[in-house]
Amino acid sequence: MASRESPAGKARRSSTRAATLQIRLPRPSDRLDQDAEHCSVLLHGEWRRIRFHDYDEIYRIPGLYEQLFHDILDCQSPDVIAKLLKEELQRGGYEPDSLRVLDLGAGNGLVGEQLRNIGVSGLVGVDIIPEAREAALRDRPDVYDAYHVTDVTRLSPALHRDLASTGFNTLSCVAALGYADIPPEAFRAAFNLVGDGGWIAFNIKDRFLSDEDTSGFAAFIRRLRDEGVLELMTMQRYQHRRNVHGEPLHYVAIIGTKHRNIPVEFVP
């Protein structure tokens, strides 16, 4: 059973942690790409195999997401994105309590929690699966002012009106772009709900920004920068977490400011 724990993980465990679960990772001989990673969890006396991308199953088990990704695999991303955003705010002389954040792919609220820790005042979560919202309300009931289960590319007129009138000046999107998660079209829809001049804080796997990228994200983000849609303030490669074999997975954290909406033709 894996059991390494980072200092950040230990600190986070204080708030909402359920009893420790027994978790087994695959053998090192099973070479797995990130989207095929899985673990086994002992539940009611039986080992259940769960894919890392089956977020619905993971969120239904209190504490599993935190124990697996943060304690065992040492995920740093919510801390890194919140810290870099705070640094940019300080550099520009902005107060965090002026931020009204839309957190896209909010999951069970770990990013929201970090944003509250840096002093963000307004925070709305959005995720595409109901289990994410249920877990966030169960484990971090005070973090979000509102949390919507929706596909941002197909918002109902009422929810679109509601979100558009919130006056978002920041978008966060952490550990949720690429693979089978958030596509460029959904990123565009959320980005366009933020006002011009707003902050955009997100991360993406380094491979998706490389010349070999086939996801379309590399060209998409290059175009946002080159055509003056997104001004990049910080781009930092860092260790997002380890994979199930203990090897580092690197992501790039990006903090920028929005200059204008993303036109539909920019989406790959």
Residue ranges in contact with ligand SAM by CB under 6 A: 55, 77-78, 104-107, 110-111, 126-129, 132, 151, 174-176, 181-182, 186
- Of 234, 152, 223, the closest CA to residue 188 belongs to 152
Distance of closest approach, residue 132 Cβ to ligand SAM, in angstroms: 4
Q: Which is nearer to ligand SAM, 105 or 122 (CB)?
A: 105
Residue nearest to ligand SAM (CB): 107
Q: Which is nearer to ligand SAM, 82 or 233 (CB)?
A: 82
Between CA 245 and CA 233 the distance in angstroms is 33
Q: Which is nearer to ligand SAM, 89 or 110 (CB)?
A: 110
Distance of closest approach, residue 2 Cβ to ligand SAM, in angstroms: 18
Q: Which is nearer to ligand SAM, 63 or 78 (CB)?
A: 78
Q: Which is nearer to ligand SAM, 136 or 224 (CB)?
A: 136
Q: Which is nearer to ligand SAM, 96 or 107 (CB)?
A: 107
Distance of closest approach, residue 149 Cβ to ligand SAM, in angstroms: 9
Distance of closest approach, residue 241 Cβ to ligand SAM, in angstroms: 10
Distance of closest approach, residue 145 Cβ to ligand SAM, in angstroms: 17
What DSSP assignment string belongs to the chain? ------HHHHHHHHHH--SPPPEEPPPTTS---GGG-EEEEEETTEEEEEETT-HHHHHHSTTHHIIIIIIIS---HHHHHHHHHHHHHHHHT--GGG-EEEEET-TTSHHHHHHHHTT--EEEEEESSHHHHHHHHHH-TTT-SEEEE--GGG--HHHHHHHHTT-EEEEEE-S-BSTTSB-HHHHHHHHTTEEEEEEEEEEEEGGGGSTT--SSHHHHHHHHHHTTSEEEEEEEEEEEEE-TTS-EEEEEEEEEEE-SPPPGGG--
Q: Which is nearer to ligand SAM, 45 or 86 (CB)?
A: 86
Distance of closest approach, residue 46 Cβ to ligand SAM, in angstroms: 25
Distance of closest approach, residue 206 Cβ to ligand SAM, in angstroms: 16
